[in-house]
Every structure is written in structure tokens, then in C-alpha cells.
Amino acid sequence: MLTFHNVCSIPSSFQLTGIPGLESLHMWLSIPFGSMYLVAVVGNVTILAVVKVEHSLHRPMYFFLCMLAVIDLVLSTSTMPNLLGIFWFGAGDIGLDACLAQMFLTHCFAIVESGIFLAMAFDRRYVAICNPLSHTTVLTHAVVGRLGLAALFWGILYIGPLPLMMCLRLPLYKARVISHSCEHMAVVTLACGDIRVNNVYGLSIGFLVLILDSMAITASYVMILRAVMGLATPEAQLKTLGTCGSYICAIRIFHVPIAISSLIHRFGHQVPPPIHTLLANFYLLIPPILYPIVYAVHSKQIHERLLQILKIETKTK
């Protein structure tokens, strides 16, 4: 590590501390965090496996579910192993390059996931409900693939400059202790120099994506509500409204914690560190657990396929 003026330095690594203020409970906290991470991995891998082997599920909705599953695996795996390593072994060291890579993965794939939500709103809730006869012709496999690549490109385009700005503009740091993960603002606040550009860029990108995606998703669901009111029976209306309502809740579970965590980093200096750390982990861990339930178990086809697999395994034992 190179040091200048005995204040700022070029660190070779950072020190992750886990959940500040709750160090004595780290071993106990590892139980719920480890269990949730295991459930997230098993649930999302199960979705990928079922869709792969069941050819009747090779349709746009389930391809989008697979994209969400991959994204959630990346989001949770980019941070949870480090956090569990801190809880179990006190292994908090993370190299500078690894920290910047973690920053890029978490923020990039959060934007990609928001883009996939938008594509799913267009697919399942607009084309499939409002224009069901043109569903298969509008959303072909090639179109679904292009939408996924577009969401990935969008995330790389927005987040790619963040680690570059950290390396080029802010190479010196006044401290090397970070709480739970290498979030952009958690690292920026440790830097020496003017951080206003990073602050404004990160805040602008975050809320630009959230606002634009939320407005587009809302517009899609408004069209759906108009279509639902024209359905023949009250039962069909209630079923469709219930399905759309569960999806809207799932999307908000992802968007709201990101917005709150970003605001707390910049303005919520009075918020206790444990509360902020737990909230920051919320959008990295809770959605990957809930989405297999909300999207997959709620899907009749995946539900039935899982029951068939379980019955076959029970008979073979």
C-alpha cells in the first residue's frame, strides 16, 4: 500500500466488517443468511432445470423467468459468500479489483433485472392479455433473446463507467473499512478528493432507471386493467387481477429497497448502521427467494412439472 501525507493511500485491498454493531451476533446471523442464500440458489437452479427439460415451457414467459433466475443467482452470489465468510471465519479482506468487480456486478445486474421486469410486463401482462392472438408472432424466441441482450447492454452502459471513474478519478482512499459489500457509495465515501461527480452520476442513473422503468411498467399495467375490465366473467377478472397484483408486488419488493438504500447512503447519516446494512442486503437476497415462489410456483405448468418430478423420485425410492 502506498501512502501520501500520512492520510490518503492507494489500498491493495479493503476490509469488510459484516454488519456493524452486531459483530457478537455474526455466528447466529449466519444461520438465517446462509439458509436464505441456500433457498435462493436451490429455487432458482430448480427453475432453470425444469424449464430446460420441459419442452412445453420453451415459451417467452419462461425464458424471461430463466433470465431472472440467472440474474438473481449473480446478485446473491456476488455478495453472500463474502458475507458468510465474514460471519464464519472473519475473512473480511477483499482485493481492490475484486471489490470493483463486486460493485459492477451488483449494480449492473440490478439494472438488468429491472429491464427484464419491463420486458415481462410487455410480454405476459400486455401482449398475452391484451393481444393474445399475436403473442407467439410478436414475441418469438429471437425477440426474447434480443430483449435480454438489450437489458444486459443497458446495464453495462450505465454501470460500466462507475469502476472506471473510481480507478481514474479517485485512486486514493482515507480508509479501507467497508461494512458488508462494495456498493458504489460505500466505497466512494472512503475516497480522497471530490466525489460529487460520482455521487451525482450514481444517484442520477439509479433514479433515472427506476423512474423510467416504473413509468413504462405502470403504463403496461394500465393497459392490462383496461383489458381485464372487458373479460367475460368476474372470476376471470379476479384471477387476472390477482396474477398481475402479485407481479406488481414482486417488482416493488425489488425497486423500493434499492431506492431507500441509495438515499440512506447519501442523506441518511442518522440511520443506525445495522439497519442500513440489513436493508442493503434485502434487495440482494429476498427477491431471489421470493421470485421462484411468486413467478414459478404461481405458474401452473411449472408447479405441475415439479409435482411430477417429486412423485417420480418418491416412487423410485
Q: Which amino acid is at 51?
A: V
Residue that the C-alpha cell 469502476 belongs to:
163
Q: Is residue 245 part of a domain?
A: yes
Q: Look at residue 5 and tell me if it is in a domain.
A: no
Query: Predicted confidence band at 132 (pLDDT cuts at 50, 70, 90)?
Result: low
Q: What are phi and psi of 104, to 5 degrees?
A: -65, -45
User: Has residue 216 been placed in a domain?
Assistant: yes
pTM confidence score: 0.87
| Least-confidence region, from 24-38, 138-152, 298-312 | 298-312
pLDDT digits (tens, 9 = 90+) for 188-231: 988 988 888 988 898 888 778 878 888 887 777 777 777 777 66
Residue 3 domain-assigned (yes or no): no
Q: Is residue 16 part of a domain?
A: no
* Residue numbers of the domain that contains 127: 24-312
152 — pLDDT class (breaks 50, 70, 90):
very high
Give me the DSSP letters along 10-27: E-SEEEE-SSTT-GGGHH
Q: What is the tally of structural domains in the chain?
A: 1
CATH number of the CATH domain containing 239: 1.20.1070.10
* Of 55, 49, 85, the residue nearest 70 (C-alpha): 49
The reply to whether 18 falls in a domain is no
Query: Which pLDDT does position 186 carry in this prediction?
Result: 85
Q: Assess contact for 288 and 72: CB atoms under 8 A.
A: yes
Cell match 440467472: residue? 70
Tens-digit pLDDT profile for residues 20-62: 888 888 999 999 999 999 999 999 998 998 889 888 888 888 8
